[in-house]
Amino acid sequence: MSIENVMVIGAGQMGSGIAQVCAQAGYTVVLHDLKPEFTERGMSGIRKNLQRQVDKGRMEDGEKEDILARMSLSTDLENAANADLVIEAAVENMEVKSALFAELDNIAQKKTILATNTSSLPITEIAAATQRPQKVIGMHFMNPVPVMKLVEIIRGLATEDSVYKAVEEMTEKLGKVPVEVNDFPGFVSNRILMPMINEAIYTVYEGVAAPEAVDEVMKLGMNHPMGPLTLADFIGLDTCLYIMETLHDGFGDDKYRPCPLLRKYVKAGWLGKKSGRGFYTYET
């Protein structure tokens, strides 16, 4: 199963990062989003990332230009007809993803693999929106994509072995480490990470310690490079809440109940770094 042409849907931080690493690995990449300003913003970020590598002496200027030459922008989903692999990195919402996969199923060639970068939603349910569930798979990249080595690869109930193998080999070609994970809410990464973040929020909510103290304990005592509340602000508190709700709905277990303080911050629009305020304040 040969993969040469890749379409990445969603030109946000995750999607543009995925597009960048694919182009760096030699794939021809189409970066797609709903509006030209979204794709242009994504491409601008990629150019800055690559230029930073040139400035640090990690990449030649000619190599940067070759990578950019392998990339093109799209606002027409019909371009999926030319892809061997489509990687979806759209908003973390089941209705949006299901509708998108149903549309892609009608456009893409029968041999095309449809992958999702979902961080918590069931692959089997997304695959059920298509007539090719055997060719649907999860590829959960970590943020920031160019830096982080892990990719969780998640089979749906019907995913073929050949599809898994092709995606595993491609992940290695990207310079990443593929880890096979079964299709359960949150997979491994967020099933473990998000309850830890949620518990850290509870310690603030219950007055056990201030956010700075919680983060210091985890950094100095557990050798975490970043405290859980700082990390939550970087991920986005709305995203943390959504994933906790997915875990709570998926398992029906009270240990996944989102902290009321997390809900309060999200309702207040305190979403973390992207909004300028979360558990800490940021320059916007």
- Provide the pLDDT for residue 40: 98
Helix axis angle, 260-267 relative to 237-251, nearest 10°? Answer: 130
Beta carbons within 10 angstroms of residue 235's beta carbon: 22
What type of residue sits at position 247? L
Class of domain 5-182: alpha beta
- Residue 50 exposed, middle or buried by CB count within 10 Å (0-12, 13-18, 19+): buried
Residue 1: pLDDT over 80? no
The residue-averaged pLDDT of 190-199 equals 97
- The average confidence (pLDDT) of the chain is 97
pLDDT digits (tens, 9 = 90+) for 142-189: 999 999 999 999 999 999 999 999 999 999 999 999 999 999 999 999
Identify the pLDDT of residue 181. 96
Neighbouring C-beta atoms of residue 206, cutoff 10 Å = 10
From the annotation, which residues make up the binding site for NAD(+)?
A: 10-15, 33, 92, 97, 119, 143, 274
Query: 190-275 falls under which CATH superfamily?
Result: N-(1-d-carboxylethyl)-l-norvaline Dehydrogenase; domain 2 (1.10.1040.10)
**pTM for this entry:** 0.92
C-alpha closest to that of 103 among 82, 121, 127, 77: 77
Identity at 71, one-letter amino acid code:
M
Q: Is the pLDDT of residue 215 over 80?
A: yes
Tell me which residues are annotated as active site.
119, 140, 152, 190
Q: At what angle do helices 189-205 and 260-267 cross, to 10 degrees?
A: 90
Helices 228-235 and 237-251, packing angle to 10 deg: 100
- Name the β-bridge partners of 113: 85
For the chain, which residues make up each domain, given as ranges?
5-182, 190-275
Would you state the pLDDT for residue 123?
A: 98
